[in-house]
Structure formats: C-alpha cells, structure tokens
Amino acid sequence: MKNHYDIVVPAGQTKERLDLYLVHHVENATRTKVQEAIGNGEVLVNGIQAKPSYKINPLDVISVHLAKPDPPTVVAEAITLSIVYEDDYLLVIDKPAGMVTHPAYKNYSGTLVNALMHHTAFLSQPHPMRPGIVHRLDKDTSGLLVVAKDETTHQKLSRQFAEKTSEREYNAIAWGVFREKEGVIDAPLGRSKRDRKKVAVIDDGKHAVTEYEVLEQFEYCAFIRLKLRTGRTHQIRVHLAHIHHPVFGDPTYGGREIVAGGVDGKKKAEVKNLLELIHRQALHARTLGFVHPVTKKFVKFAAPLPEDFSSVLLWLRTKRGA
C-alpha cells in the first residue's frame, strides 16, 4: 500500500532540489524512499516525471506516491509532569511550552503522552498514538489539559468539549492598541492554500468564533483574556492575526514582527529586547473547568502564567509605570 500526496509549492519558496524538498514536506519520507519513488516514476512535477536534482519552482504541483511506513511505537519516557490534579479517573496537567501533546510526524519522543505513559499504566485508548488525550494544545502554547484514564471518562469529557459545556480561558499578550475593550472574532478557518502547514481565514473554512477582553492596554501591546466558542487548530493565533493583533512572539503568524504603529527608533530596539524574553507565542491556557464524569460536580482549575510570559508582562507594566 502507498500514500498519495499532492503538494503545491508556496509562492515564496526558494529553489531547492526536489528530493530534499520532499523529505522535509512529506510525512515519514526519507531521502532513500523519495529517490526510489522518483526512480519508479511515482513522483510527477506538473504532470511530468522529474529527476531528484530538479530544482522546484514556486507554484509547482508535485504528485507523490510513497510506500506506507511501519507504524511507529510509543514508549514511556521519564519526563517530569506538572500535575495540577489527579484521581482514579483523570489528570489535569499544566503543559509547558515546547512540549508536543502527542507523538506525530517528526515528534515521536519527548511528548506529553510519552511522559504520561511513564507516570501511569491507566490511560484511555482513543488512538494508539494519543492514549489519554481528550484535547490538545499547540507545542508552544502552555497551560491546562485534561487527560482521561479510562474509556468512559474519555467519552464523557469529549462530549463536554464537543458540546462546548466545558469552560476554557486563555491569556495572551497581543500586538497593538485595541479600539474596543472586548469583542468577538467570527471568521472561518482552514488550511492555508499558500502554505499547508499554516491555518488561515478562508471563505469555505470551518466555523470558528473567539471572544476576547482587554485586561490591560500598554503602549504597543495588550494583555487579554480569550474564550473559545469553537476549538479549531491555531484558532486564537490566526484570529488575532486576522484582526491585526497577532500574539506577541508568535513566529508563525507575524508575532515576531513589529506590527504596532508608532514603534520606531529607540522603541524598535526596546521591542527587540522584549522579544528576547520569550521565544514562542505569549499564549497560555489559564483556566479549565468541566463536570467531573464520576462525581458529577463542576470542577475548575487554574495555572499561573509561566516565567517567560510573566517576564514580558512585568516589563510592560514596569515601563507603563515609569
């Protein structure tokens, strides 16, 4: 059996060997597998067989057939967990920034799942690669996740997330001065047609709604609280970028660029120094609430802002009071 991939090279892509490009853009691809597929005529560029050395061009359409790899195995790893709550049915974890939630392409170790498997033998099994995982956070988003230890607990928690009866609040530092203290962003999301690794606001995307409230407004950034009415991939990050207030520090959606008006001269140097305090998006899943599947009581948990996020916020507060 083979997997089939259709890839459109992004408009801004620089020239690169075809085989090397595919190794970095096709799941589980190796250079040997790619070159073998090219040699077998199973890689077409714009409908024509190409050599491994072919230099790709922007907007090239690449069709690839690759043999399916052996399924990877997930192993337990002795990784420290920040456990906010645990009982016989579930755990609430404060996930640090930089940790992937579950194993996937190019991240088969060092994940939250690897750590959970070392911590407990009791995890629900919704998928071989995602034991216990009810919902996810992006790798560089910190904060709270609930993990299920059995199938019944998993199903009941999943239903709450699906029906939006669970409560989740996020904190973020976003670029710019907000005209309104609070608002709702209602914009459909889907995979970007220019870069499949990104999410974008697109007309035929999935319904997505984010509420925000400005808690503190600074000179060129704001500390905000957010609630999700829907739970789409990268939702907060893309929605804030869409309204020209990207999450501060976000390398994917414009948060490491100076996007606020009036930031020039000495201020630019100031902002560059501030960006050195945080090397990821300033986004944190601060609170999580749900009805416990067994006790039937509503429980709510909170996780303090991590050090890198807090250091940026402290700097902004100090500067405002100077």
DSSP H or E segment with residue 17: none
Q: Would you call 60 a catalytic residue per the annotation?
A: no
CA atoms 110, 111, 112, 113: torsion sign: negative
Helix axes 31-39, 18-25, angle to 10 degrees: 120
How far, in Å, CA of 159 to CA of 304, rounded?
27
| CA dihedral (36, 38, 39, 41) positive or negative | positive
- Choosing from 138, 186, 203, 250, the catalytic residue is 138
Q: What is the DSSP letter of 30?
A: -
Q: Which helix (H) or strand (E) holds 67?
A: strand 61-67
DSSP one-letter string for 103-143: -BTTB-SSSHHHHHHHH-S----SSTT-TTBSS---TT-EE
Answer whether 122's CB lies under 8 Å from 113's CB.
no
| C-beta of residue 205 within 8 angstroms of C-beta of residue 186 | no
Instruction: For residue 314, give the amino acid letter.
Output: L
Positions marked catalytic: 138
